Structure formats: structure tokens, C-alpha cells
């Protein structure tokens, strides 16, 4: 085995890097493939906005015959370190066959890279920007991954912990069986009361263009809602525009709930059809006919993903969440045929969201973990 750095200007190198998980998870019912074109876009320094301020180095472990056994991406995210006042290297795209030595080559390379950049910590798996899901799945392997949410084999946790990583933070995902669930009457009453007393209103969307017109306001709400939260990094305008367009592409405007006070957005909640089954049939390819699988699955899917809740700090605890959950619940019940909801990636430290989800009847059933390694402590022990 040997490790090799990927040439990001080589289409063949990039494609081999992107396609490795398709081989690794072939036959795995729970894994949902990413869109190949989107993954290639993320690795293009000339096109993806991450590279306007930071850099990435990618590596593959190969056997003697050139077959890929593992991969890893290493992020020198200067914007994140500046905002968080840290000196941290990040890793992403960690995938490996069930071979501890292959994993060790990847992590040894990551350690060497991080020390070469004078970082004192290594954290991951992360995404290029905040809206990219990260973490290693450590609970819930029997369940199919939600759309755009990582899935991995159970041995990933074993390997990372054997190679010196410890828990940094967890995010949980929860399940709701929609036919058996109603928005609690208490939540409905709160929503109705505050709508009248405090002058809140729901902004309804009927087209994607209406959603695009709200992007600038939504960016400010996102930043104000999560500023100071664990690991939160404000995206650049270009990054937010990219993330918003990715969401709008898959979104049904009826599932986007925005609460307004006068002309100001004070809270948002978005949900979208889970078309993971269609992506599996398309095998991550949109062209020439993969998009048909997504359109068909959008009509057929019984699953909805709820991903993304934000409320301005000055309006938290004032009934805004009750309005959004009530309106989303009514929309799902009255306008769609969903039977299952997956509320994804809620940070364990986000007590308010945890409480809201418990109130709505969520059953926690998946857990993703961000890992960290203290490189200075490791050096002192060696």
C-alpha cells in the first residue's frame, strides 16, 4: 500500500477520488449516493467558492495494482480559523475499506499535513462550508441515510478512535411516523395566540423565484441565529448563494416556512422531499436520464426531511418555532402523502431544538460524531 496526493487539475484523478464510495458501498442498501456532478464541482478550485479563501489537499491510499483503498481530504480553512480564533486543520471525505493499516496511512498523512501547517488540532469529518453535512455515523446503521447526510460502516468509529481521535460533538437525527403524529394542541394554541398578539405572519412561497428573492434576508437570519454556536462559520456571499441554490433546486416551495415581522424575516424552517431512492436508481448521475428517477421519486416518496431551523435571538422563546412547526405540520398533513419524517442533524448542544423535537414526538435514531485530535498532546507523549 502507498498514499498518493490527488492532482486537482487532473479529471481522471478527481473522478477516481469521487467514485471510490460508489465502489465501497456497492450493494449497501442504507447508503445514498451523492450527485456526482456536485461532488466534482466541490473539488474544482476554479469554480467552488470555498477556494476563494482557503485550500484543500486530497489523498488516496492505493494497493500495488493502483486500486483505491481509501481517501481523505484535508482543509486549511483560513476563514474558519479566523472566525473561531483557532489553529485547527480539518479533514473531510474520509472513506476506507475495512483495513486498519489503510486507515492508518490516511490518518498519518493527515497528522503530517496538519503539523506541516503548524495546526495544533485536527477535526472532522467536516464539509467545505457550513451547510455541508459532516460527521461519522456512530448509531443507526440499519436505517437508510437521509438525503445529503453521510452514511458509513460501523468500523469507521473503531478506526478513528484507535488512531487517536476522541469525540468533539454529536448531532442527532430523529424519526416521526406522520400518520400517528399530530402537532400538540398546546403548540397550536401558542402559534395562534402569538400570531395575533405580536403581528407575526407566514410568508408563503409558490415559485422558486420567490424563494431566490429572499436569499439575502435569509443569509442574515442564518448568521444572526447561529453566530457563536459551536463550530459555526459565517459563509461568504458566494458560498451562501451556492448553498441556497442547492436547496432551492430540490425544494418544494410549499415546504419552506418563513415567519415575518413587518418586512423582516425572524425565523425559518425548511423541509424537502427525500428522493434518496431515486438517487440510488440513478447511481448519482443526473444525465442523461437520472433526473427522471428523481422526478418520479419526488412524486412517490413517503419520506420528508426536515433540515434547518433558525430564529433571530431576540425572538427566541416567543412562539416563532410554534408557528413554523404548526404550519409545516398542516402542510404535510393536508397537501402531501408523506408517512415518514426525518429531522436531521440537530446538534446535541442545541437544547431549544431538542426540546421542540421532543414536543413534536421525535424518536432519536441516528447519531453522527465530529472527532478531534490534539496534536500537541500527541507530540508530548511521543
Which residue in 237, 232, 233, 225 sits closest to 268, CA to CA? 225
Residues 34 and 84 in one domain: yes
pLDDT (tens digit per residue) in 279-334? 999 999 988 889 999 999 999 999 999 987 888 888 988 899 899 989 999 899 88
Least confident segment among 140-149, 260-269, 275-284, 371-380: 371-380
Alpha carbon distance 184, 359 (integer Å): 8
Q: Are 229 and 170 in contact (CB under 8 A)?
A: no
| Structure confidence at residue 133 (pLDDT) | 81
Which residue in 102, 74, 150, 71 sits closest to 2, CA to CA? 102
Residues 201 and 337 in one domain: yes
The pTM of this model reads 0.93
339-to-175, 227, 273, 297, 317 alpha-carbon distances in Å: 11, 34, 12, 14, 29
Least confident segment among 49-63, 220-234, 240-254: 220-234
Query: Grid coordinates standing for 58?
Result: 486530497
Residues 158 and 281 in one domain: no
Residues 219 and 342 in one domain: yes
Given a cut of 80, is residue 377 above it in pLDDT? no
Alpha carbon distance 311, 360 (integer Å): 18
User: Mean pLDDT over all residues of the chain?
Assistant: 91
Q: Around 218, how many Cα atoms within 13 Å sit in the side-chain half-sphere?
A: 22
Strand 200-203 with 136-139, pairing = unpaired
The band of 82, judged by pLDDT with boundaries at 50, 70 and 90, is: very high
| Structure confidence at residue 379 (pLDDT) | 58
Given a cut of 90, is residue 378 above it in pLDDT? no
* 328 contact partners, CB below 8 Å, separation of at least 6: 255, 257, 269, 271, 306
Given a cut of 60, is residue 157 above it in pLDDT? yes
Residues 165 and 197 in one domain: no
Residues 265 and 133 in one domain: no
Residues 114 and 43 in one domain: yes
| Structure confidence at residue 263 (pLDDT) | 85
Query: Grid coordinates standing for 5?
Result: 496526493
pLDDT (tens digit per residue) in 242-287? 888 888 888 899 999 899 998 889 998 889 999 999 999 999 998 8
The band of 197, judged by pLDDT with boundaries at 50, 70 and 90, is: confident
218 vs 144, higher pLDDT:
144
Residue 272: domain span:
176-366
Given a cut of 90, is residue 43 above it in pLDDT? yes
| Structure confidence at residue 316 (pLDDT) | 86
Residues 137 and 204 in one domain: no
The band of 381, judged by pLDDT with boundaries at 50, 70 and 90, is: low
Number of domains, the chain: 2
Alpha carbon distance 144, 133 (integer Å): 16
| Structure confidence at residue 380 (pLDDT) | 55
Q: Mean pLDDT, to the nearest integer, of 89-112?
A: 97
Residues 314 and 204 in one domain: yes
| Structure confidence at residue 360 (pLDDT) | 86
| Structure confidence at residue 343 (pLDDT) | 92
- Residue 380 phi/psi, 5-degree rounding, is -65, -30
224 vs 365, higher pLDDT:
365
Q: Mean pLDDT, to the nearest integer, of 365-375?
A: 96
Alpha carbon distance 15, 232 (integer Å): 30
Residues 181 and 276 in one domain: yes
CATH number at residue 56: 3.40.630.30
For residue 27, is it left (φ>0), alpha (ψ between -120 and 50) or beta? left
Residues 17 and 117 in one domain: yes
| Structure confidence at residue 347 (pLDDT) | 85
Using a CB cutoff of 8 Å and minimum separation of 24, what contacts does 21-30 make?
A: 21/95, 22/283, 22/284, 23/68, 24/95, 24/97, 25/151, 28/151, 29/144, 30/141, 30/142, 30/143, 30/144, 30/145, 30/151
| Structure confidence at residue 149 (pLDDT) | 92
Given a cut of 60, is residue 350 above it in pLDDT? yes
Residues 148 and 187 in one domain: no
Strand, helix or coil for residue 342 = strand
| Structure confidence at residue 304 (pLDDT) | 94
The band of 217, judged by pLDDT with boundaries at 50, 70 and 90, is: confident
The band of 54, judged by pLDDT with boundaries at 50, 70 and 90, is: very high
Amino acid at each position: 500500500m502507498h498514499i498518493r496526493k490527488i492532482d486537482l487539475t487532473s479529471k481522471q484523478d478527481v473522478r477516481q477520488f469521487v467514485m471510490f464510495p460508489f465502489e465501497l458501498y456497492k450493494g449497501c442498501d442504507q447508503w445514498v449516493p451523492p450527485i456526482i456532478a456536485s461532488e466534482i464541482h466541490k473539488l474544482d478550485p476554479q469554480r467552488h467558492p470555498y477556494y476563494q479563501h482557503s485550500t484543500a489537499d486530497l489523498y488516496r491510499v492505493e494497493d500495488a495494482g493502483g486500486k483505491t483503498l481509501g481517501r481523505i481530504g484535508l482543509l486549511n480553512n483560513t476563514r474558519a480559523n479566523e472566525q473561531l480564533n483557532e489553529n485547527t486543520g480539518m479533514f473531510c471525505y474520509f472513506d476506507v475499506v475495512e483495513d486498519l493499516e489503510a486507515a492508518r496511512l490516511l490518518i498519518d498523512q493527515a497528522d503530517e499535513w496538519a503539523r506541516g501547517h503548524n495546526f495544533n488540532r485536527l477535526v472532522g469529518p467536516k464539509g467545505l462550508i457550513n451547510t455541508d453535512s459532516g460527521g461519522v455515523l456512530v448509531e443507526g446503521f440499519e436505517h437508510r441515510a437521509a438525503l445529503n447526510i453521510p452514511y458509513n460502516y460501523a468500523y469507521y468509529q473503531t478506526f478513528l478512535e484507535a488512531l487517536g481521535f476522541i469525540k468533539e460533538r454529536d448531532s442527532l437525527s430523529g424519526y416521526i411516523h406522520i400518520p400517528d403524529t399530530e402537532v400538540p394542541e398546546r403548540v397550536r394554541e401558542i402559534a395562534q395566540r402569538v400570531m395575533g398578539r405580536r403581528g407575526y405572519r407566514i410568508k408563503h412561497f409558490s415559485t422558486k423565484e420567490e424563494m431566490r428573492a429572499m436569499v439575502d434576508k435569509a443569509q442574515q437570519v442564518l448568521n444572526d441565529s447561529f453566530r457563536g454556536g459551536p463550530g459555526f462559520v459565517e459563509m461568504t456571499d458566494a458560498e451562501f448563494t451556492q448553498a441556497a441554490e442547492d436547496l432551492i433546486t430540490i425544494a418544494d416551495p410549499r415546504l419552506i416556512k418563513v415567519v415575518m415581522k413587518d418586512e423582516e424575516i425572524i425565523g425559518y424552517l425548511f423541509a424537502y422531499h427525500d428522493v434518496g431512492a431515486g438517487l440510488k436508481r440513478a447511481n448519482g448521475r443526473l444525465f442523461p436520464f437520472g433526473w427522471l428517477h428523481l422526478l418520479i421519486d419526488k412524486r412517490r416518496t413517503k419520506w420528508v426531511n426536515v433540515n434547518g431551523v433558525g430564529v433571530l435571538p431576540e425572538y427566541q422563546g416567543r412562539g416563532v418555532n410554534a408557528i413554523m412547526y404548526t404550519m409545516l405540520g398542516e402542510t404535510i398533513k393536508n397537501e402531501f402523502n408523506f408517512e415518514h419524517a426525518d429531522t436531521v442533524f440537530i446538534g446535541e448542544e442545541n437544547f431549544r431544538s431538542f426540546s421542540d423535537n421532543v414536543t413534536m414526538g421525535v424518536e432519536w435514531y441516528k447519531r453522527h460524531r465530529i472527532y478531534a485530535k490534539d496534536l500537541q498532546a500527541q507530540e508530548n507523549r511521543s
